[in-house]
Structure 1
Amino acid sequence: MLPRILLQGFYKRGKFVAVPAPSDPHDPRDSPWWWDHLADNAADLAHAGVTSVWLPPVTKALQGSEAAALGYSVFDDYDIGSKEQMGTVHTRYGTREQLTRLAAILRANGLDIVLDLQLNHRKGGTGPDGLTFGYRDAFGNKSGGRFQKNATCFHSRYPADPVPPGFHPDIPQDPAVPDGIGELQIGSKVFFGPDLAHINARPEGYVSNGLIAAVNWVTRALDAQAYRLDHVQGVSAVFLRALLNAEGAAGKFAVGEYWDGDAEKINDWITAGHWMASRCSAFDFPLYFTLLGMSHDPNFDMASLDHAGLAGINPFHAVTFVENHDTESRRDLVAHNIQPDEKPLAYAYILTSEGLPCVFFKDFSRAPGCLGDRLRPVLVNLMWIHQNIAEGPAEQRWKDREVFVFERTGGARLLVGLNRHRTRTRHLDNVVTGFGPEQALHDYTGHSPDIRTDQQGRVQLTIPANDRGLGYVCYSVPGIGEREPPEGQDAQQVFEGAADLDIPCAQAGKTIDIARIYCAPCSAVHASLQFDPRDWMPGTALTLTLVAPDGAHVASRTFSRTDAGMAIDATATVTGFHRWRIHADDPRAGFTASFSLATRYRAPTTLQDPDK
C-alpha cells in the first residue's frame, strides 16, 4: 500500500463563510459549485501525490446553501443535496448528483473519499423547544422523511429543577463522553447545539441505531472509504466504537477531532479499552501547537521537535497537519496563524516525519484567495519526498535551539535537517547517519549541494537559513524514482428508493428516474437490483433501464419476483451522464416497491463537461 497523504478538500473565508458558491450573492455567479471544483482538480491532486480527500459535511445544514452553511449544523441525515429543505435543494457545495459525480471521479483517480461526520448535535428543529425534527420524504411531503427526532433524542444539559424548556429531564449524559466526565446530566462543555443522546435516548437504541444506519446509507451512496469525526470530545466513545465496528464502517479508516494540546490525553482516548480501543486515529493538535510555537515564539527550542506531539508516541494513529479550516479562521480558538512564509518549514516536518500528513486545500490550490502560487511548488516537492523516500521510524541525529536533524530509517533512508533561523546558514560537522561509509547523498529539495558520507558514515551538513520558510534539506541516495501511482477504481454506489428517503420507490404504471451516473467512454457498467417480493403478484415486475446522454436505451432488464439480486451489464459508449430508470408493472393501482440499486461503473478522471 502506498504511503498516504490526506488533503482537506475545503476551507473557510473568515469565521463563518465557506468556500465560494454561485448561490452566494457575494461570489461571482459563474463560480463553480464546490463539488464540481474538486472534480475538476481530482486528476491534479492524484498526480501530486494525494491519496485521499476529506470532504466537508455532505448533509443539508440549518443554513441551506448560505455563506454560513459550512455543513456542521446538520439538519437532515438523509439529505445530501436532493430535498427542498432549508430554502434550497442543493447544499452550499452542490447537489447530490454533483456529489455523486465527484465521488466517482475521485475513485477513477484512485483517490479515497473521507466523509466528515458531525455526530454531536443537530440544528434546525421546530416546535416550542426547537427539538422537533421532521424531514421531507421522496415526494416532498413534510415530516415523512427517515430518522425524525424529538426531545427524547437529546440529553439534558442542566441538573437544575425545573429543567429549562427544550431539554428532557430524564435523558442524562451518555457514558464515555470525554468532556462530560464527572458532570452529572450535563453534556459537552462546548455547546454547539442540541446534543444527541447516543446511548441514553428514548426509546433505547433509537439514536445510535438511526445514526449508524444513516452513516451506512451515505457511505453506500458515495462509495466512501474513510471518516473524519467532528468534535469527538462531545460524543460517547461507546457509540463511536459501535459505529466504526458496524458492518458499513468496519475496517474503514477514521480520524477524530480531539482538540487538545495534551498528547498523552489524546493517546489515551485512542488506545484505552473504555475509550476507542485503537479503532480510531486523531488529529495531532499537540504537534500543531508545537509548530505554531516554531512559527511565532522567538525562544522556540528546535530540540522540542524530537518525537513531538501525538506522532512522537503513537505515529500510526496520528494525523499531522499545519492548518485546517478552524485554525486558519478562528482567532477566538487560535490567536495566530502559521504565516505563509513559515509554512514551508512546518510542512517539511510533517511531510518527512512519522504520522499521516494532511495538506490544507487553501495552501495547495492556486485558486483566487488561496496560497498555492507561493506554497504549491514547495508542497509538491515535499509530497514527492514523502511518497517516494520517507519510510520507517525516525531517529534523532542532531538537535539544538536552532536546528533539528533526524533520519527516517526505512527504505532508502532519508536525512532531514531543519533550521529555523531566518538569516543564518548552519554548518554541522560529523552528523551521524545510517547510510554507511562513502555513500553519495542527494538533497531532493534542491536547497543544498550533494554530499558524501565519510568512512564512519557521518556527513558535513549545510542547512540554509530559513528565508521564506525554506530552511530545510532532505538527503537520500541518488537516483530514487517515482513509485507507481494508485490505480483508478470503479465507483460502487448504491441508490435506494423508498418513500421516506430522497429517491421515490417504484410505483405501478410509472417510470421513475433513479439517478444519473457519470461514465467514461467505452466503460463497463454493472448493476444489481434488490427488492422485497413478498407481496408481489404473479404478474408484478420491475423494469430497469440505462439511458445514454442522447436518450438511447443502453440496456434494460425486467425483474420478476424471483429475480431479486440479479444483474444487468452494459457498456457506456460516450462520456457523460447515463440515467437509471425503473418502471413497475402491477394490476394494483396503489402498488409500490422499495428497492436498492447497486451500480459499478468507471467515471472519467476529469470533469469534461459539467452539464452533460
Structure 2
Amino acid sequence: MFDDFRFWLETVFIKRTVPPPLERMQLRPDDSPANPLMIQFFTWDCLHESLSWWKHLEEEIPNLAEQGYTQIWLPPPNKAAELDGRGYDAYDLWDLGEFEHKGHIRTRWGTREELLSACSAARRHGIDILIDAVLNHKLGADRHETFMAVPSNPDNRLKDDGPPRLIDGWTAFDYPTRNGKYSSFRWTKDHFSGVDWDQKTQTKAIYRIVEPGHKGWSRNVDTELGNYDFLLGVDIDHSHPAVQEDLLKWGNWILGTTGAAGFRLDAIKHFDRKFLLSWIQHVRKRTGNDKMFCVAEYWSADLDKVIPYLRFFRGETSFFDVPLHHNFHLASRQSDSFDLRQIFKKTVVGLQPGDAVTFVDNHDTVSWELLDCHWMQDSQSLESWVSENFKTQAYALILLRASGYPCVFYGDLYPNREGYSERTAKNLRILVEARKYYAYGPQQDYFSEKNCIGFVRKGDRSHPGCAVVLSNKSGPATFKHEVRMNVGLANGGSSYRSLMTQEGKVAIDAQGWGSFFCFANSVQVWVKV
C-alpha cells in the first residue's frame, strides 16, 4: 500500500514536455496521409503447415501492404529455452536463429536469414517492423550455480516463506556456440534477483537471491502480490551496471540488424520502470531515431493502475489499451445488458487517446485450456477472449474512429485453431478496407441508446468519410435499429450505401441528415454512393 502511494506521489505532478507518443512516433515508414494500422502477426500456438513462420510472413507482406497495414508486430525473434518456445522463454536475445542450441539452429519461427529477408521485404513494401522485446527474465540456462536464497510467499513476495538456504539455480548462461559473437557478456547468479526452481531439492518456488551485492526485488515495479518483480524463470536484476549496458547494446543492435522501427515492450509491470524509461531514451539517442516507436504491455483492466505509468513514462511509449479490451470482453459476455454508451468509460483511449494502442484480442487473451502452454500456465489469469457475438462491433470501434491507434490480431484474420471465425475474418477485412478508404476527418458521436450507438466521420479533402451504426441487441436478426445522424451539408441530397451487407440505401436530406440503420447484434458501415 505504501509503495502504491509513493508511486502515485512520484507521478502525480509529472508534466509532459513532449507531444503524446502517437503524435511524435513513427506509425508508418513514409509521410502518407493514409491511416496507419498495426497487425500482430502471430498467435500463441501458430505454425505454418509447410513454411517457416518468417517465410509465411514474407509471402503475406504484399497482401498486408495492399490492405493498408503499416506496422507488423513480430513475435520475439530471439532464441528460446526450447525449440517450440515462443521467445518469451528468452534464452539468448543475440541469437536470431543462427547458432546451435540443444541440437537446433532455428527458432520456432525460422532462421536468422529468413527473418532478415522478411524484414527487408516489409521495408520494400512500405511496412515497418516492430520487435517484441522480452527484457524481464531468462530461461534455459546452460548450467546451474549454488547460492543462498530465501523463498518468498507466492501471495505476498514481500514476506519470506522460510529461512535462507543454499539452492542450485539455473543462472549461468555461457552461450558456448555463439562464442562471444555480437556480445561477450555472460550471465551468472550475480545478474539475477530470483529464480523459480531449486535443482538441489527439485522444488519449484519463488526464491529471492540473498548473496552479497544483491539488492532483492526492485521497488520500481507493480505492487500486485506485494511486489511483482518476479514473473517466471530467472528474474533479471536491472540495477546491475553490466546488465544495463548489455541490454542497451542489444536494443541498438536489434534495430540495426533487422531495420525495425521500434519495439513492443513485454510485461513492463514486472521490471524496473526507471530502467525501462532510461532504456527507451538511450536507445532512441544511440540510434539517432527520435521517432522510434514503442508500445508497452501493462496488463491491467483498472485504468487507475495504468494512469501512474502513463504519467511516469512522459510520452516515451504508448500503451496497449487493456481497459478497453476488458470492456469489449464484458460486452461480449453480457450481451444486451451491457450499455454501449459506456464502452469507452475508464479506458486509455477515453482518457489520453494519444497514448492508446487499441486492440480486440491478442496472444494473451486466448482460451488457454485449448493450448499446450507448459511454462505459461500461470498466464491463465489473462484469459479475456472477446466472443464472436461482439468481435465485429469491437473492431469497428477501434478501426473506424478518430482516436487511438488500432492493432489487428492475426488470429482474427487468418485461419487457426485458437478461436478463428470465418465470419469475423470476412467482416474484419471489410472494416480494414473502410479504414483505408473512408474513416477520415472530424468525428461526431451519436451515443443515445443503450444497445445501439453510431458515429460519423466527416471525411477530408481526399477521403469521403463514413457513418457507422452498431448494435449489441440480442433477438431476431431482422430487428432493425435506426440512428439519425448528420454527415455534413456537403453531402446533402446524396445517398449512402452499406459496405457490410451490400444492400440498402439511406437518403440524405438537404441539411445532411439521414436515418442510418443496422440489424440486431451487427455493424453497418455507410458510405456515399
Q: 1:310 to 1:434 in 2, by over 3 A?
A: farther
For structure 1, the residue ranges without an aligned partner over 5 or more in a row are 14-18, 22-27, 479-612
Aligned to 1:390: 439
SS in 2 for 1:212: helix
Asked if 1:475 is matched to 2:526, the reply is yes
- Choose from 292, 295, 307 the match for 1:252: 292
* Kept in 2: contact 1:321–1:357 (CA 8 A): yes
Secondary structure in structure 2 of the residue aligned to 1:333: helix
Which residue pairs with 2:70 in the alignment? Answer: 51
Mapped to 2, the partners of 1:395 and 1:435 lie a distance apart of: 14
Match of 1:431 in 2: 485
The alignment partner of 2:316 has SS state of: coil
Distance in 1 of aligned mates of 2:322 and 2:78: 26
3-state SS of 1:282 partner: strand
- Deviation per CA, 1:541-598, whole angstroms, max 9, x where unpaired? xxxxxxxxxxxxxxxxxxxxxxxxxxxxxxxxxxxxxxxxxxxxxxxxxxxxxxxxxx
State the alpha-carbon separation in 2 of the partners of residues 369 and 38 from structure 1: 19
> What is the CA RMSD across the aligned residues, in angstroms?
2.8
Matched, 1:313 2:362: no
Query: Using the alignment, how far apart are the partners of 1:228 and 1:277 within structure 2?
Result: 17
Match of 1:79 in 2: 95
- In structure 2, what is the equivalent of residue 155 of structure 1? 193
| TM-aligned CA distance change 1:85 to 1:444, over 3 Å | same
**Cα drift, residue 316 of structure 1:** 1.9
The amino acid across from 1:474 in the alignment is V
1:133 to 173, 192, 196: 173
Greater share of helix: 2
Q: 1:410 to 1:318 in 2, by over 3 A?
A: farther
Secondary structure in structure 1 of the residue aligned to 2:137: coil
Contact 1:153 1:207 in 2 (8 A): yes
Question: Does residue 452 of the first structure (1) align with residue 507 of the second (2)?
Answer: yes
- Cα–Cα, structure 1 residues 227 and 103, in superposed 2: closer, same or farther, change >3 Å? same
TM-score by length of 2: 0.76
SS in 2 for 1:342: helix
The AA in structure 1 aligned to 2:53 is: W
* 2:387 counterpart of 1:339: yes
Give the alignment of 1:35-114 within 5 angstroms.
Answer: 35-63=54-82, 65-66=83-84, 69-114=85-130
Matches within 5 A, 1:262-301: 262-270=302-310, 272=311, 275-298=312-335, 299-301=337-339
Contact 2:52 2:110 (C-alpha < 8 Å) held by counterparts: yes
- Specify the code of the residue in structure 2 equivalent to 1:237: R
Question: What is the alpha-carbon distance in structure 2 between the residues aligned to residue 111 and residue 210 of structure 1?
Answer: 28
What is the alpha-carbon distance in structure 1 between the residues aligned to residue 176 and residue 493 of structure 2? 68
* Rg (Cα) greater in structure: 1
- Is 1:403 equivalent to 2:458 in the alignment? no
Matched, 1:20 2:20: no
Aligned equivalent of 1:355, options 404, 408, 427: 404
* AA aligned opposite 2:492: E
State, as a whole percentage, how many aligned pairs show the same letter: 27
Residues 151-182 of structure 1: per-residue CA shift (max 9 Å, x gap): 22122589xxxx9575545323335323479x
Aligned 8 A contact 2:495 2:507 in 1: yes
2: CA distance between counterparts of 1:105 and 1:124? Answer: 32
Q: CA deviation at 1:100?
A: 0.9
Q: Please, which of 103, 115, 134 is the counterpart of residue 118 of structure 1?
A: 134
Moved more, 310-319 or 452-461: 452-461
Instruction: Rate the CA distance shift 1:472–1:37 in 2: closer, same or farther, 3 A.
Output: same
Contact 1:390 1:414 (C-alpha < 8 Å) held by counterparts: yes
Distance in 1 (CA, whole Å) between partners of 2:439 and 2:40 is 21
* Contact in 2 for aligned 1:227/1:253 (Cα 8 Å): yes
2:505 is aligned with what amino acid? D
Q: Quote the Cα distance in structure 1 between the aligned partners of 2:346 and 2:496.
A: 27
Note if 1:328 corresponds to 2:372: no
Q: Classify the secondary structure of the residue corresponding to 1:399.
A: coil
1:397, distance to aligned residue in structure 2 (A): 1.3
Query: Is the CA contact 1:137–1:144 (under 8 Å) kept in the aligned structure 2?
Result: no
Q: Is the 8 A contact 1:33 1:93 kept in 2?
A: yes
Residue identity in the other structure for 1:279 = E
Shift of residue 285 of structure 1? 0.9
Moved more, 381-390 or 258-267: 258-267
The CA deviation at 1:425 is: 2.9
Q: CA deviation at 1:465?
A: 2.3
**Residues 279 and 148 of structure 1: CA distance in aligned 2, closer, same or farther (over 3 Å):** same
1:425/1:462 contact within 8 Å kept: no
Provide the rounded CA distance (Å) in 1 between the counterparts of 2:405 and 2:473. Answer: 27
Match of residue 7 from structure 1: 39
Cα–Cα, structure 1 residues 409 and 155, in superposed 2: closer, same or farther, change >3 Å? Answer: farther
Partners of 2:468 and 2:64 in 1: CA distance = 25
- Whether the aligned pair in 1 keeps the contact of 2:105 and 2:111 (CA below 8 Å) is yes
Q: 5+ residue gaps in structure 2? A: 1-31, 145-167, 197-205, 370-379
Matched letter for residue 210 of structure 1:
D
**SS of corresponding position for 1:358:** strand
Query: Quick check: 1:220 aligned with 2:256?
Result: yes
Equivalent positions of 1:441-520 (< 5 A) are 441-447=495-501, 449-466=504-521, 471-478=522-529
The Cα of 1:296 is off from its aligned counterpart by 1.2
Number of matched pairs: 441
CA contact (8 A) 1:173 1:180 kept: no
